Structure formats: C-alpha cells, structure tokens
Structure 1
Amino acid sequence: MSALQKRNDAVDINGFTNTVTTDNHITSAGSSWYFAVCAIMGVAALAFMGLSFKKHRSQRIFHYITAAICMVACIAYFAMGSNLGWTAIQVEFPRSDPKVSGLMRQIFYVRYIDWFVTTPLLLADLLLTCGLPGPTILYVILVNEIMVVTGLVGALVKSTYKWGFFTFGTVAFLFVAYSVVIEGRTYAKALGADIHKTYILCGVWTIALWFLYPIAWGLSEGGNVISSDGEAVFYGVLDILAKPGFGALLIWGHRNIDLARLGLHFKDPEDHANSIGNEKHRNGADSRSHGVTSGTDATTTTNTTTTTHV
C-alpha cells in the first residue's frame, strides 16, 4: 500500500479546500481504495456488456441495466478517488480521536448522485424480474428516491435536525423493503420456480445489504464515529456487493429465463424483417396452392361436361 500511496497524489493535486477547508477527510490510502473500487466497477460493467452478446438482442435488458449500474458507479468512484465531488460540513459530534478530529468533515455528495441514478435501476432489475405491475414499480422507485435525497440532505445538515431526515429516509427504506420482500415475492412465485428462486436470491441479497447502509451513514456522515477512510471502505465494500455482486447473481439467474415469461416483449429489427418475409412466403404458397386447386377443378369440370355431352 505504501508504494501505491506514493504514486497516488490525487489528494495533493485536488486539495481539501472547496467552499471551505476541511480538516476531517480521506488520506492517500482512502483515495487509492476509491480508485480500486472504480476499477472493479469498470471491469464489472464491461463483463456484463460482454455477456449480453451471448443473448439475443431482445433478451438483453437485464444485462444493459446491470452494466449501466456499474458504469455510473465507476464514474462516481473515480470522482471520489480524485478527491472531487465533495463539500465540507461542520460535524455535530466533535471527537478527540485523531482519525476523526476536526470540526469540518468531508461529505462526498457525488456518492448520493450515484445512488440517485443506480438504486432505481437496481430496483428495476429486481421488480421486473418478479413481474410487478408498472405503476407499482414506479411508486417504489419514487419512494426510493426520497430515501436517497433525505440521506443527502441529512448529511449536509450540521445540526441535530439531520436525524429527522435520517428518520424519513429510514421509513422510506422500510417501504421499499416491504415491496421487495413481500409484494415482489408473491408475484415471482406465480411465474415459476426458477424465477421465484432467482428473485428470492437477489432480493434477499439486496435488502440485507441495504440494511447496512443506514448503519454506515450513522457512523460516518451522521455520528462522525469512523474516519473518512473507514467510511470509504465501509461504503465501498457494500457497493461492490450490492452492484457487481448483485449483478452477477441476477445475470446467472436469468441465463435460462425468457423475458416473455415476465411480460416483457422487445422487437428486434431482424426478427421483424424475417417475420414479414415468412408471411409473404406463406401468402405466396397459399396463392399457388389455390391456383393449382382451381386448375384441377376446372379440368374435372371440363371432363365431366364432355362425358355428359357424349
């Protein structure tokens, strides 16, 4: 790690003065960890895109969504590794521990921009898998956005009122968890054992991890208990498991599931052209068949007429 720290001078190039100067922030080690997570997210995005080519184009929606999740996270972690996308907020609980000492703590708002984009996509992956109705999916995503925004506002508030926003976010999360665990499971069960198994595996994985995010928030942006480097590791591990880890489970579970079973139908230009060609071919065959039949009938009629005349 020491050699890596010597090569990583992002915290020196992009210093700790933004709107104000922070004295409670990541170190070179934290920056290096953020860059490592950035690399993991980037590799995962490329892997999911690569795996999509093994599927027909009309069957790739889950690959595309999952790759997009990791792609956005990759950019966010690049920003944090570069010591960008943050502001300094006065802490509510000053600490004597040197690792968290100081009155102004570094808050990475870019993390919440990441979550605002990626968590709805993640929920779309899950809730499309179980065949939940469109209006319900949209409603769950809206509540999820409330959860993310209240978390950001709470992180940017320096007074005890931050815990009010934390409470709003926690209640919103509990609604999302209920929708995934209870409602989604009921719909998935009706679609077949393989779909139900995939949904349960991915759903339990996601909600179990999401329960840890409020704890991470309370120890870092909220309570100023762990250092900014500790915050980086906590959130980074959770994001790796919740995005590339979740994506791997989901793509593996969908390997033999046809999207039509989920009520999802996407047309492909080649399929549409082939369908038109096949239809024209059938129509031509029908016409020729009709013409042969008419000719036979005409011959039979002529013969019958001739025989009668004789």
Structure 2
Amino acid sequence: MIESFVKQTQPLPWPEPTPTSSVAPIPTVVPGSDPIFQTLHDTGKRTLWVVTVLMGISSLVFYVLGARVPISKRVFHTLISLATTISFIVYLALATGEGMDFKLDTIKEHNKHVPNTSQDYYRQVLWLRYVLWFLTEPLGLISLSLLGGLPGAHLLVAIAADYVMLGSGLLGIYAGHTSRRWVWFTISAIGYLTTVYHISVHGARAASNKDSQTRRFFGTISGVLLFVKILYPVALAAGPLSLKVNVDVETILLAIYDIFSQGIIGYWLLLAHDASPGITLNVDGFWSHGIGNEGAIRISEEDGA
C-alpha cells in the first residue's frame, strides 16, 4: 500500500511547451474583385425623355414665332430653332439608348500589410452629347455676338476655345484613371476661361457702343449663360473623371445646362427681340433677298465673238 501511495503522490508531468506566433492570421485577399458598373437608371432615363419633350415643344414654338416676323428679322429665330431642333434629335437618340458606350477605369489600391488590389469600373458615357454641343455651341455664341456686336475675330477665337473645352474634356474621359485625365481637364478649363474672356470682356466692350437697354440685356443674358456653362466642367470632374458622381446626377446637371443654354436663353432672347426695338436685328441683302441680278455682266457667244 505504501508503494502505491507513493506512486499516486508523485507530481504529474507537465505538457511540453509548443511554439507560438505573435503574428495574427493574414487575411485572404483576392485581387481583382467583381467589376462595378456605373450606368443610367430610371432617374437618368426619365431626365433624357423630359429634355426630349421640352426641346421638341420649344422647336415648334420657335418656328411659329419666326414665321410671324419678316425674314430680315428672323436671324435669332433661325439660330435658336436650329439649336433646339438638333438638341431634340440628339436627346431622342439618347433616350432610346443610342449614342452611348462604356469606358473602363482600373483603380489600384496600395495596401501596407496585404497584397495590392485593383478595382475595375465600367462607366457609361453618353458621347452623343458632344456631337450636340459641337453643333449647337457655335449657334449660341453667334447669337450673343450679333446681339452685342462682338467682332468676328473675337467670335472665331471664342468658338475655337469652346471646341478646345469640349474636345479636351472628351479626351480626358477616355484617358483612364491616370494623371493624364487631369491634364486634359486643365486644358478644358483654359478653353472655358478663354471663351468667358472673349464674350464677357470683348463682348461687353462692343456692346458699350449700343443703347443702354441693349447693353444691360447683353450683360445679363451673357452672364447667365456663362455662369450656367460652368456646370460642364463641374459635371466632368465629379463624374467621369473622378467617378464620385453617378451617371444619373451627371445627366441631370448637363440636362439643366442644355435647357438653360438652348431653351430658356432662347425664349428670353426672342421675347426681348420682339418687344424691344433696340434689340431687334434687321438683316437685308443675301439673307433676305438672295443674290440679285443687279450689276451682273452678261456676255453672249455672239458678243464674245
């Protein structure tokens, strides 16, 4: 019994120590997760249809207003009607799903303790809008120039700068998520500021030679147009360049710009044109009567012989 008691009172053996690690488990990271698609939703699609209807109705109204005045006083009516008609056609195409494609932006994230990851963004681009602006922006600038008496040299530079603004913005959209996109955005902003300079400074200087009513009206309408025009670089930077704003918000911002620059400004200009004799533009010559036969020299075959 003593021997058995001694055996039971002997200390039990301790387990052998096992090596441990102070490093926490490394999370599993799978680079290249599912792509994110930024597309139009119901809000953006409804916005396109609303602008289509507004531009269609405005075109009909402008054509009716133009038919009520003589041809010599129809210059503004023609320019504005052309702009809203082109806008109606383009927005109708966009509303029915045409004039769009996708651009791919790959954003790489550098992590400190885990492998780097990348995320693909497919964003819908309504490129047909740029065709609209390339056709209608000069018409609006010509209307302002005729109203304020801006010289043709400044008008040409303003139109060229506006094309630089639009073209650089489009190139920036397709430059990918690289620093190049901000270079194109800077060029686009310079084009915008150049257009503002020629219309606001040189245009105001030219309008100072007109009556006080025309000067005030030109300053107000050009100021509103150039202020609303800033919606383009804002929507460009926040939307397709930085991917911070979705396509619906971008569509709404640019729709507001088109409604103001082509619709509201058009109504404002035509109503003032019909109500104020000082703003009325009267153009004769080829615009009203074509090429006449006065002063033409005719030489028949017999006289030439």
Q: TM-score range by the shorter chain?
A: 0.7 to 0.9
Distance 1:208 1:30 in 2: 23
Instruction: Indicate the residue corresponding to 1:61 in structure 2.
Output: 75
Q: Which residue of 2 aligns with 1:117?
A: 135
1:19-168 alignment, distance < 5 Å: 23-91=37-105, 103-158=121-176, 159-168=178-187
Cα RMSD after superposing both structures: 2.4
Question: What are the Cα deviations for residues 93-123 of structure 1, in whole angstroms up to 9, with x where unaligned?
Answer: 699xxxxx96110011101111111111111
Distance between the aligned counterparts of 1:206 and 1:240, measured in 2? 11
* Aligned counterpart, 2:21: none
8 Å CA contact 1:220–1:227 kept in 2: the answer is yes
TM-score when normalising by structure 1: 0.73
Structure 1 segments of 4+ aligned residues over 6 angstroms from their partners: none
Describe the superposition over 1:241-270 as per-residue Cα deviations: whole angstroms up to 9, x where unpaired. 12101111111222233325xxx4445349
Select the structure that is richer in helix.
1
Greater share of strand? 2
Distance apart, 1:88 and its partner CA: 0.9
Which has the larger Rg?
2
Deviation of the 1:224 alpha carbon: 1.0
Distance 2:49 2:108 in 1: 29
8 Å contact from structure 2 (residues 239, 246) kept in 1: yes
**Which of 204, 212, 227 is residue 208 of structure 1 equivalent to?**
227
CA spacing shift, 1:54–1:153, aligned 2, 3 Å = same
Q: Distance in 1 between matches of 2:285 and 2:216?
A: 24
Q: How high is the sequence identity, in percent, across the aligned residues? A: 23
Q: Deviations over 1:192-223 (max 9, x none)?
A: 11221221121011011012221111111111
Q: SS in structure 1 opposite 2:124? A: strand
CA distance in 2, matches of 1:92, 1:120: 36
Q: Where does the alignment leave 5 or more consecutive residues of structure 1 unmatched?
A: 1-20, 96-100, 276-310
Match of 1:180 among 199, 214, 221: 199
Tell me if the contact between 1:92 and 1:223 (Cα under 8 Å) persists in the aligned partners. Answer: no
Q: 1:93 and 1:107 mapped to 2: Cα distance?
A: 18
- Residue aligning to 1:284: none
Once the two structures are superposed, what CA deviation does each residue of 1:35-66 show, in whole Å capped at 9, x if it has no partner? 11111111111111111122111110101101
After TM superposition, give the deviation of residue 23 of structure 1 in Å: 2.2
Correspondence for 2:246: 227
Asked if the contact 2:155/2:198 (under 8 Å) is kept, the reply is no
* Separation of aligned partners in 2, 1:126 and 1:266: 21
Matched with 1:291 is none
Q: Secondary structure at the match of 2:38?
A: coil
CA distance in 2, matches of 1:119, 1:177: 13
Query: Compared with structure 1, are the counterparts of its residues 165 and 73 closer, same or farther at alpha carbon in structure 2 (3 Å cutoff)?
Result: same
Which whole-Å deviations, capped at 9, do the CAs of 1:270-293 have from their partners, x for residues lacking one?
9x89x9xxxxxxxxxxxxxxxxxx
Is the 2:148–2:204 Cα contact (8 Å) retained in structure 1?
Answer: yes
| Distance (whole Å) between structure 2 residues aligned to residue 196 and residue 93 of structure 1 | 50
3-state secondary structure, aligned to 1:164: helix
May I ask how many residue pairs the two structures share in their alignment? 245
- Shift in Å at residue 174 of structure 1? 0.3
Q: Give runs of aligned pairs for residues 257-296 of structure 1, distance below 5 A.
A: 257-260=279-282, 264-267=283-286, 268-269=288-289
Name structure 2 gaps, 5 residues minimum.
Answer: 1-34, 110-118, 295-305
SS of alignment partner, residue 37 of structure 2: coil
Q: What residue in structure 2 maps to residue 8 of structure 1?
A: none
> What corresponds to 1:239 in structure 2?
258
